[in-house]
Structures are given as C-alpha cells and as structure tokens.
A and B are shown apart, each in its own frame.
Chain A
Amino acid sequence: MTTDGRPNGHAGAGGRTTKPLHNPLGLLAELTHRCPLGCPYCSNPLEMDRREDELDTATWARVFREAAGLGVLHVHLSGGEPASRRDLVDIMAAAREAGLYTNLITSGVGVTEKRLNELAGAGLDHVQISIQDSEPKSADRIAGYEGAYARKRALAAAVVALKLPLTANIVIHRANIARVDELVAMALDMGASRVEIAHVQYYGWALKNRAALMPTREQVEEAVGRIEPLRKQHHGRIVIDAVVPDYYARFPKPCVGGWGRRSLNVTPAGRVLPCHAAESIPGLEFWSVKDHSLREIWEQNPAFNAFRGTDFLPEPCQSCERRDIDFGGCRCQAFALTGDARATDPVCHLSPQHHVVEEQAAIREDAEYVYRRL
C-alpha cells in the first residue's frame, strides 16, 4: 500500500554551502495561472505565466520525483485553477507515484464530477476548496464570478460523498470578517473536516486592493476572539486553523517557515521560488526546472541562499530572542513596505519602520475591487 519516495540518484549535499540546509517538506505546484475566478486577493503575481509557457506533464512528473528525493512529503496542486489543465489527473497520478501526499487546491469551478471521480480513483489524498463568503451573493461578488458559490457547494458535496477529506479555505477581509461564526457553520455544513480562516495577506493582487480589503482593528480583534470559542464549541467535529492578520500583529509570521528552509514553489512556467511572492523582490534570479534539477536549485541557486538562515538580519532582529522563531518575518513584506528586503519585517512592533504598517492599515476605501485577470 505504501509507495517509495526514491532518492533520484544525485550526490549528497556535499557540504559546500555554509548556510544551514534543511530538507523541504512541502511543494506548492502552481500548475497554471489560468482561473475562472477573479478574487481581488489572489496570491498569484500581477504578472502571470502564459499558457504556452506552462510545463508539460512529463516535466511535472520529473519535478515530483526530484521533490520526493529531496524529502518533500506534501505536494499542493494549485494554480490558478489546477483543473484548467486537461492533464490534471495524469499530473496528480505522477505525484502520487513519486510517493507524495497529494492535496488539490481548487476554486471548485471547473472540476467536473467525472474528473473528481478519476482523481479519487487515481489516489488523490485531500481536497481544499476556497469559498469566498457564507452569503452566496457576496461570495460571487468577491470571486467576480456569477454562480461560483453554488458550484463550490456542489463540488464539496461530491468530495464528501467520495469520502475524501475536505478543507474549506476561507479568506477574510472587510466584506466578510463579521461572519466568522457563519463561515465556520458553513464549513461544517459542507462536511469539511478542517477549515482555514485566513486573514488576507497583502502581496500581489491583495496589495493592489489593500484599501478595499483592509478591516479595522476592532473588526480584526472581534474575529480573532471568535476562534477559540468556536474551537471549543466544535471540538471533535472540525479542526479550525487560523492565519493571523499581519498588519495588526505584534510579531511577524515566520513566513513559509523560513526562506529556503521548509518549502518551495514551482511556477506554471517552471521557475522555482522559496514562496509564491518571491519574484516581487528585485535583483533575485530564479532558476527553472527546465535547466536544473530541483536539488541543484534548492542547494545552489543564489536566490535561495540570499535570505537563508539569519546572518543577513539587522538589529533589532540579530539580538532578539525571537530571531530563530520568526527569522525576522517575511522578506517580501519587508521589501513591499520598506523597500529593503533585508529589513526587519515592519509588521513587528520592534521594527523602526513599524509606523508604515499602521499608516497603511489606516487607509480604507470602499473602492471597486481590481479583479485578478490573466
């Protein structure tokens, strides 16, 4: 019943780098940037990969074998909408064959019941469906797609009928943050065994729409305060995972568990990144799986070594007791808000530039969303 994660025959680490090198655990496979939805907080970059540049099935299969050889355990098949790829079932099966745990991250729009059955039959392990709100009209408005809510609910029902474990992923922001209780109730009603309540992270499209998405401090405190009571109320029925709202946090998040430390991301065209927003930092050259093995990239690409470890961090991080807990926060956020990717993430209240975060959080306008479109 078990499959082997075979090492792919590359030589060992060789001890060439002076940076601490860990095995990656998770791979985010952005199979395509095509997506029927237009969510204004999409994690895809503003400049997206085109269909004609997308990796083919065989290359993804090789990437998965190399990933397993590097120690990757979970693969997240994402996008865009991964079902926009006609070869999704073959891609999933290749990941499974490489020994990886396969998580399909879908908008729920575009996965037909027939395709879901094929995926389940080929060994798909887990499904994650994004859902924009518990009120259908609001959900469709946020997604920029009429009828999206109903289609998501229908797919969720089909997933549960197949006894596949389901996570509901719910991004919260000013338009839906008052409904945390209703959102969790909806996830239960969908039959999800896990729900992610994730405050918007302001990169890419979300950064562009920040003023339209940003909640007030009071709204955030109310929403955060609901999580523990809801966990108690629904204990044993659903797992509630919460992603914290950075702009109102005291300390920064240890973004992706540290740069080049625990996870990696492959774009539709094959560039390998430490995280999905990494290309927003100028001056870094990201290598492609078309030219290099995943191991070469993980160990030798200068972009992966640029912020590995904590040596690059300035004060107050260097002498901070949390230095090895949060690694100074997120490099992309440091760059986006201070212009310096090496700076302390200004989300931290100890950052000399923390005022920037407070100033930006105070800007809230009920403007039309700029929908994410390819």
Chain B
Amino acid sequence: MNTPAAAPSILPDARPRLPRGVRLVHNEAQGGWVLLAPERVFKADQIAAEVVKRCTGEASFEAIVDDLAATFGAPRERVEADVAALLRGLADKKLLEL
C-alpha cells in the first residue's frame, strides 16, 4: 500500500498543520498519544505522534521528512512515502490542513 509510486504526493513546500480544534495530547492512563477532535479520538502510535508533532504550520513537508529520516536513520524515500500517506489520511478526515 505504501509503495512510493502509489502513495499520494504532497508538495515539498506544503506546511502541514493541525486545524484549530484538533490537538495532539499525551495521556498516561490511555497509554500514550492521542489526536483529539470534536467528539472524536484517534490513538497515535509513537511514529505517528513524532510526525504530527512536527506539523506546526512552520516546517515544510520536505523539512519534516528530512528531519524524520535523520532522527530515525531511515531511507528518505521510504519515510517520504509513509509520511505522505499518513498526512493525506489525516487531511481526508479533516484532522490536518495541508
């Protein structure tokens, strides 16, 4: 599903951000990070949380991918495809602005 060719593309200079009303929160009792929206809760695993934390509206998609690839020592193309798929999925649910 996450092959680079099939992954939805995101412009390198897009600056993804959480819209007002969507927040990433850490809750110990719920076992980690959760993305909260009106009447909705999405559990975020460690990787998803690391991605979403970087979606501040300031960093570009390109810079976010560079940062994650460097932080986790993973191949850039692979990171780009995975992050693009994640962000596109969140945007479709209106949990992210691209």
By a beta-carbon cutoff of 8 Å, the part of chain A in contact with chain B is: 1-7, 23, 25, 68-71, 73-74, 99, 101, 103, 125-126, 128, 163-165, 167, 193-194, 241
By a beta-carbon cutoff of 8 Å, the part of chain B in contact with chain A is: 19-21, 23-30, 34, 36, 38-39, 41, 53, 56, 94
* Cβ–Cβ < 8 Å partners of A70 in chain B: 29
* B27 x A2 contact (CB < 8 A): no
- Interchain nearest-CB distance for A67 vs B (Å): 10
How distant is the Cα of A2 from the Cα of B32 in the complex, in angstroms? 12
- Interchain nearest-CB distance for B43 vs A (Å): 10
* A73 x B38 contact (CB < 8 A): no
* Cβ–Cβ < 8 Å partners of B38 in chain A: 103, 125-126, 128, 165, 167, 193-194
Chain A residue nearest to B27 in the complex (CB)? A5
- Interchain nearest-CB distance for B34 vs A (Å): 6
* B29 x A7 contact (CB < 8 A): yes
Known: A69-B28, A165-B38. 6 other contacts (CB 8 A): A5-B26, A5-B27, A71-B27, A126-B38, A164-B21, A165-B21
Chain A residue nearest to B29 in the complex (CB)? A71
* Cβ–Cβ < 8 Å partners of A6 in chain B: 28
How distant is the Cα of A164 from the Cα of B37 in the complex, in angstroms? 12
Q: Which of A69, A103, A241 contacts B29 (CB 8 A)?
A: A69
Q: Which of A5, A7, A163 contacts B25 (CB 8 A)?
A: A5
* A23 x B23 contact (CB < 8 A): no
**A to B contact number (C-beta, < 8 Å):** 70
- Interchain nearest-CB distance for B4 vs A (Å): 28
Q: Which of A4, A125, A165, A167 contacts B26 (CB 8 A)?
A: A4
* Cβ–Cβ < 8 Å partners of A4 in chain B: 26
Asked, given contacts A74-B39, A101-B23, whether A7 binds B56 with beta carbons under 8 Å apart, the answer is no
Ordered by A's residue number, 28 sampled pairs between the chains whose C-beta atoms are within 8 Å are A1-B56, A2-B23, A2-B53, A3-B25, A5-B27, A5-B28, A5-B30, A6-B28, A7-B28, A7-B29, A23-B29, A23-B30, A25-B41, A68-B29, A69-B29, A71-B30, A73-B27, A73-B34, A73-B41, A74-B41, A99-B25, A99-B27, A125-B20, A128-B38, A163-B20, A167-B38, A193-B38, A241-B39
Asked, given contacts A71-B30, A73-B41, whether A2 binds B25 with beta carbons under 8 Å apart, the answer is yes
Chain A residue nearest to B28 in the complex (CB)? A7
Chain A residue nearest to B49 in the complex (CB)? A2
How distant is the Cα of A78 from the Cα of B8 in the complex, in angstroms? 41
* Cβ–Cβ < 8 Å partners of B21 in chain A: 125-126, 164-165
- Nearest 10 CB-CB pairs, A to B? A71-B29, A165-B21, A5-B27, A101-B36, A126-B38, A71-B30, A7-B28, A126-B21, A163-B20, A23-B29
* B23 x A5 contact (CB < 8 A): no
- Interchain nearest-CB distance for A238 vs B (Å): 11
Asked, given contacts A126-B38, A194-B38, whether A165 binds B20 with beta carbons under 8 Å apart, the answer is yes
- Interchain nearest-CB distance for B96 vs A (Å): 14
* Cβ–Cβ < 8 Å partners of A128 in chain B: 38
* Cβ–Cβ < 8 Å partners of B25 in chain A: 2-3, 5, 73, 99, 101
* Cβ–Cβ < 8 Å partners of B56 in chain A: 1
